[in-house]
Amino acid sequence: MKLLYVLATCSLAFNAVADVASQLVVENPFARAAIMQQRNSAAFMQLRNPTETAAVVSASSPVAGIVELHTHINDQGVMRMRKISQIELPAGQTVSLQPGGLHVMLLGLKRDLNPGDEIELTLILSDGSEKQLLIPVQRVMMHKMKQMQGHQIDGSLPPMMKH
């Protein structure tokens, strides 16, 4: 009986501390509009983590065959997307997922993503908890993406992004 009490107490304590997903604040989420023939899209948002340091370790969505965490790197003057293993969420900070930076990549679209639609997206966190999201689909203009990537020192825009 004592063992059962100890296990129940530990389980309650673990659940109270471990559920980072319930504490995570998601602001301004959206997915980029795309037709299925384009094959890929991406999701963006701000993630505010008021709890202990954690990370997004994966994601899933029924609208894509594969969902990956990505970032952009400058490879000899060319911006390239790269898959990453996780997105760090430092305690007490906000992390921006935005065009030209960190983002959730939706590969192998199973349907068109039209402006005004909503898609399901699940973020899986390092503690095993999951954050279920229903996010709007929006048109992302190229000039907005370029603004978010920033300008080079000479004022010119960075070279075209390549995957």
Identify the pLDDT of residue 160: 44
Identify the pLDDT of residue 79: 87
Q: Give the chain's mean pLDDT.
A: 83
Identify the pLDDT of residue 163: 45
> Is the Cβ–Cβ distance between 64 and 107 less than 8 Å?
yes
| CATH number for the domain formed by residue range(s) 22-149 | 2.60.40.1890
**pLDDT higher for 34 or 17?**
34
- The yes-or-no verdict on residue 96 having pLDDT over 90 is yes
**pLDDT higher for 28 or 74?**
28
- The yes-or-no verdict on residue 14 having pLDDT over 70 is no
Residue 88 pLDDT grade (very low, low, confident, very high; cuts 50, 70, 90): very high
For the ranges 27-41, 93-107, 114-128, 129-143, the lowest mean pLDDT is seen at: 129-143
Count other C-beta atoms under 10 Å from residue 130's C-beta: 17
Helix H, strand E, coil C: the string for 101-158 is CCEEEEEEECCCECCCCEEEEEEEECCCCEEEEEEEEECCCHHHHHHHHCCCCCCCCC
Identify the pLDDT of residue 146: 46
> Is the Cβ–Cβ distance between 27 and 45 less than 8 Å?
yes
- The yes-or-no verdict on residue 3 having pLDDT over 80 is no
